Structure 1
Amino acid sequence: MIALRRAGAAEFEAVLDTALAIYTAAMRPPPDQLAGRKSIMRGHTTYPDFTCVLAESPTGALIGFAYGFRGAPGQWWHDVIYRAIAGRDGEDAARRWLGDALEVAEVHVHPDHQGKGTGRAMMHALTEGRPESTAVLSTHDQPTAARHLYRTLGFVDLLTQFVFPGGYEHYAIMGAPLPLAGHDRYRGVADPATGR
């Protein structure tokens, strides 16, 4: 059975190299982007109300992680997305989605452990008890398993075919009201053998 454990900023920084290896296996980014990604992840630990969930195998090995923080003006992602939503749908829409939001920055499960409910369990654990009214995130604008998961949790598309400044890949910006859909049925990671 996979075990989920909450971690603070210092504990996440202590496993950052392993987390980066999971990110690399799951996302397959160009090698020249890894140093920058590590720096971004480390920087996120300083954001307000940083929260992290670690998923561990029965042997204690880290197999997945998810983290987020309270979005606020002055944070790069927050400001870019706020401007984009406000420019398309107006200030009220931007405020409604981003004015009181948990920004889910990273959700990754090692490919050897995907498809067993770990991502869903981490999302529920990450958002459980959060005071924010919404959760927002970005994901590749493709029919991926991650995007399907987010939709089943209540996330809707806020922006599609979005390209971040200086980037070239297309992203979907998604948002969901908190608590997430299915939170009342959440009982932890499902046992693949029994489905419970």
Structure 2
Amino acid sequence: MDDVVVGPLDLAARVDEALAVQALAFGLTDDEIGVRRHVVLRHSAHSGLRALGATTAEGRLVGFVYGMPNNRVYWWSTVVQPYLRADGLEWWLDDSFVITELHVLPAYQKRGIGRELITRLTDRAAEPRSILSAIDPPAGAENPARRFYRSLGYRDLARRVLFPSAPSPYAVMGAELPLRRP
């Protein structure tokens, strides 16, 4: 990580660079990038939004994270609420900081950049806990993202959560703050 600096990110000004990182890290199509661009710009206007970027010495964005305090009227909350309610965990939606997106270019993964991004962002949160969603692999399987989140202290709150237009189910995960350090 010596050649990468983590610092504040003007998400609206660098939305296209952030989406280029997300497209490579997450495998987005051009159509998905177009849809997400509008979502990211809408989020960036939120007064509680916080964003960090990881940049090279040349200023190239190689990773980013952003999130905001949760509000039950947000689309994401309205989708996950019934799943959390079913297990008596709906209270996680209150007084939580949501990690909306976290992505690092594949060539820069496994260098501690994602960990630095998410821990620095959540360390500044006023909320006592954090929630997020990650692709949920089939039962008995695991993926690198969920292993990473578990290493930070996130645990499953709901599995097989279906978001409209998402091709795969997601898991909603939550962690008490501050996040676990290695």
Q: Name the TM-score, length of structure 2 as normaliser.
A: 0.91
Quote the offset at 1:20 in angstroms: 0.7
Gaps of 5+ in 2: none
Superposition pairs of residues 122-137 of structure 1, within 5 angstroms: 122-137=117-132
Runs of at least 4 residues of structure 1 off by over 6 A?
none
Comparing 14-23 with 139-148, which one deviates more in the overlay? 139-148
Quote the offset at 1:84 in angstroms: 2.0
Matched with 1:94 is 90
CA distance in 1 between counterparts of 2:46 and 2:82 reads: 20
Question: Letter of the aligned partner of 2:104 in structure 1?
Answer: V
CA distance in 1 between counterparts of 2:29 and 2:56 reads: 27
Question: Letter of the aligned partner of 1:106 in structure 2?
Answer: E
Matched with 1:106 is 101
Percent of residue pairs identical = 32
Q: What is the DSSP-based 3-state SS (H/G/I as helix, E as strand, rest coil) of the residue aligned with 1:47?
A: coil
CA distance in 2 between counterparts of 1:103 and 1:179 reads: 14
Gaps of 5+ in 1: 186-196
Superposition pairs of residues 126-165 of structure 1, within 5 angstroms: 126-142=121-137, 143-165=142-164
Matched with 2:26 is 27
Matched with 2:65 is 66
Matched with 2:11 is 12
Question: Letter of the aligned partner of 2:94 in structure 1?
Answer: G
How many equivalent pairs are there? 176
Q: Contact 1:69–1:103 at 8 Å: present in 2 too? A: yes
| More helix as a share of residues | 1
Question: Letter of the aligned partner of 2:56 in structure 1?
Answer: S
Q: Contact 1:6–1:52 at 8 Å: present in 2 too? A: yes
CA distance in 2 between counterparts of 1:17 and 1:166 reads: 22
Quote the offset at 1:118 in angstroms: 0.4
CA distance in 2 between counterparts of 1:65 and 1:21 reads: 11
Q: Contact 2:161–2:169 at 8 Å: present in 1 too? A: yes
Q: Contact 2:72–2:93 at 8 Å: present in 1 too? A: no
Q: What is the DSSP-based 3-state SS (H/G/I as helix, E as strand, rest coil) of the residue aligned with 1:5?
A: strand
CA distance in 2 between counterparts of 1:46 and 1:120 reads: 25
Quote the offset at 1:24 in angstroms: 0.6
Quote the offset at 1:140 in angstroms: 0.7
Quote the offset at 1:46 in angstroms: 2.5
Q: What is the DSSP-based 3-state SS (H/G/I as helix, E as strand, rest coil) of the residue aligned with 2:12?
A: helix
Q: Give the root-mean-square deviation of aligned CA atoms.
A: 1.4
CA distance in 2 between counterparts of 1:112 and 1:101 reads: 31
CA distance in 1 between counterparts of 2:83 and 2:5 reads: 38
Q: Contact 2:51–2:64 at 8 Å: present in 1 too? A: yes
Q: Contact 1:98–1:134 at 8 Å: present in 2 too? A: no
Deviations 1:64-106 (A, max 9, x none): 00000011021000121123211x123xx211x1100101000
